[in-house]
Structure 1
């Protein structure tokens, strides 16, 4: 049994019980081939719940601090996140975004699922913020379909993104696959990249019911 299968078998039922997790639209995730999962990001536990509710393993980028912690807690976090498919990247460095996109493209070329939060960081106030165009580059360069998803309720269980989450109810909602073959060969056109990104974020907004803010979340946090 792989480490991912072991983690899912042991922790999957616990997560569903503790968070009363309801999954909607999981049938929209293709059973094989490259797929991009793109959704909102409310709090830390989003990245713990998402891999455990998908039948296929989801690979995603995470801060390298998640796997470099000290002590028992640090070792457990590293074991969990690397086991479910997190690939650590130093996103604080100047080339963090490039490294993330290169990793995503490699995984998609291998026919895997790559999960991404187009906002680039957690929402500071529960609203949905403007998406970064890396999601558009990935789908146009690889031809992989985008399956939008929404995490609903996780911010209420872990409001500040830190500490132990409390029990409650979480819904993970997946939308229908989106494909952008009509824009093939236009992955360097910034207006196309923005249009593709905005269309994905519109679907995420429809799934989540969040208020949309036409501003990058990182700028909102800085302000």
Structure 2
């Protein structure tokens, strides 16, 4: 209940001040499990997406520090992620990464929508980095379609390091879902890589971002 009240209130603010342009809304599945895979430019991405996807509730993972940091400075983030039903996860270790995927799989098995950033972490230079195959592992394990999303302008709304959002134009573009069954004839390891690359390529076409040659490494503090 709190989730829907909060989304409605924040949605009013979003439409009033930022008036996001949403394209391709017809591609959003209205029911059933789906992985919402987006580029990642700003902290505010995890706020924008649940607010523009009014058809579904999207569950995101959030680093555990947002929930365990009891400081006054972190209070808005802690309250928001708790209210939006985000799932806290540790970061930085292979075991933690697999635990995150296992948690995501549980969400999808409930026929819900799960949000993921295939690049792994925010792009600090605006380029689109190579995707990590966790998104494909999840798609095959859950037999869930992947909905590619391109976010444009969120890095200007809240640049990395900025404490408060600014007024800037935001565009959200959706592409048709990518179906894991289309890779059934490909060897599993290659299929995971191919599906992931197809998701990133689609996001790149949606955003027009410059492509980076490798992976986006997690900073010490992000």
Partner of 1:68 in structure 2? 68
Unmatched runs of 5 consecutive residues or more in structure 1: none
Q: Cα RMSD (Å) of the superposition?
A: 1.9
Give the equivalent residue in structure 2 for 1:43: 42
Task: Work out the CA distance in 1 between the residues paired with 2:93 and 2:108.
Answer: 24
Gaps of 5+ in 2: none
Q: 1:3 maps to what in 2? A: 2
Which segments of structure 1 move beyond 4 Å, counting only runs of 4 or more?
none
Question: 1:16 deviation in Å?
Answer: 2.2
Change (3 A) 1:118 1:17: same
| 1:151 alignment partner in structure 2 | 151
Q: 1:18 to 1:68 in 2, by over 3 A?
A: farther
Match of 1:130 in 2: 130
Partner of residue 114, structure 2:
114
Counterparts of 1:146 and 1:199, CA distance in 2: 10
Structure 1 counterpart SS, 2:150: strand
Q: CA deviation at 1:72?
A: 4.4
Matched, 1:30 2:63: no
Aligned match of 1:170: 170
Report SS of the residue matched to 2:32: coil
Alpha-carbon distance change, 159 to 79 in structure 1, aligned in 2, over 3 angstroms: closer
> Structure 1 residue 33: deviation in Å?
0.3
Supply the distance in 2 between the matched residues of 1:76 and 1:218 (Cα, whole angstroms): 27
Offset of 1:71 from its aligned partner? 4.2
Q: Note the C-alpha offset of 1:180.
A: 2.0
- Aligned partners of 2:158, 2:76: CA distance in 1, in Å? 19
Number of aligned residues? 219
The change in CA–CA distance for 1:59 and 1:130 in structure 2 (over 3 A counts) is same
TM-score scaled by structure 2?
Answer: 0.92
Separation in structure 1 between the aligned mates of residue 94 and residue 134 of structure 2, nearest angstrom? 15
Give, in whole Å, the separation in 1 of the partners of 2:151 and 2:161.
14
TM-score by length of 1: 0.91
Q: Do 1:128 and 1:212's aligned partners in 2 also have CA atoms closer than 8 Å?
A: yes
Partners of 1:64 and 1:125 in 2: CA distance: 25
1:176 Cα deviation after fit = 0.8
Per-residue CA shift, 1:175-212, capped at 9, x if unaligned? 111102033496x8322211110001010001111111
